Structure 1
Amino acid sequence: MRILGLTGWSGSGKTTLLTALLPLFIARGFSVSTVKHAHHGFDLDQPGKDSWRHRQAGAREVMIASGVRWALMHELDGPEPALPELVRRLSPVDLVLVEGFKANPHPKIEVHRPALGQPPMWPGRSDIVAVACDAVPADCDRPILPLNDPAAIVDWVHHFVQTNDAVHTTP
């Protein structure tokens, strides 16, 4: 599998870009999965539903299944799993897009909007391989991708993942 991340400050448009890229990759025949990091607790369940009640009663894992999807929730009692461990749990696909996991060394595109007033993340970071932005930043030594042109970003990513060994990971 190939893995490529999107990173950037909160509010930069990482999720908006990711959801614009997904249908374009799929239209090109890529199978794509995503991994999203949450900096806070989250819950997929609704209080009072059976699966929520199973977890509240102490189940370590709860699987919910229907005719259209299944989901596995795993309660942690130790440290947060690292990205490679999470990726190994995914079914094989052509590309895994990762949102967040800033500290992990996988290749990333930084989503950068100078108007937000946040400093760029790319200086001194070899894991940031390109910058998607809506205004060309000064002194950027990475490829600049047009943030408002997802098709151009897909073209660049397609070439990058085909020619760069750093994006390959073992499931």
Structure 2
Amino acid sequence: MSLISKPFDDSGVEMVDDIARYGTSISKRIEQFRHRSGQKRGQRSDSANHYSGFVVMQVLCDTVCEIIDTSKNERLRTECARAANTFFIESAFPDDLTDQGLADNHQPSQELIQEVSSILTDDQILPADGSVPLQTLLLALVWAALSFAMESLPADQARSWVRQRIMDAETPPPYH
């Protein structure tokens, strides 16, 4: 169960429902991808960190940044980063998580990046008619990024990483 406070305006419950629905659909599709990738790799030990929640969060946040850069609307960057604080996503993990993939200094795989791109063009996830406002799409990606970050980090740190990654994808905050 998740609750969202309205991050931008008074669009109301419908926008909140759309963000949750699209964010959940994106997350489910990435979970399916991770499952398929784990089966292909034969559940080797490197596959767990290869697509850790932290790595997925980075790709999703980078996607948010690319969309914002393309739209040339920098106001959206600040608002998306701020939205990480407005989403209440219950973590299934305790706040004393151990480092699960944070030390990965390698680039995310092209397969994961391509999967996120294919999700955004799948009309079963997002209608192809352009009816999903850019703001809603970006917030759904932030929703998904935060939910994956919380697999690897306690909630407060996950929020911090998502905010920082959106504000400056090149220099994430130090992890303690």
State the TM-score, normalized to the length of structure 1.
0.27
Higher relative contact order (CA closer than 8 Å, sequence separation 6+): 2
Larger Rg: 1
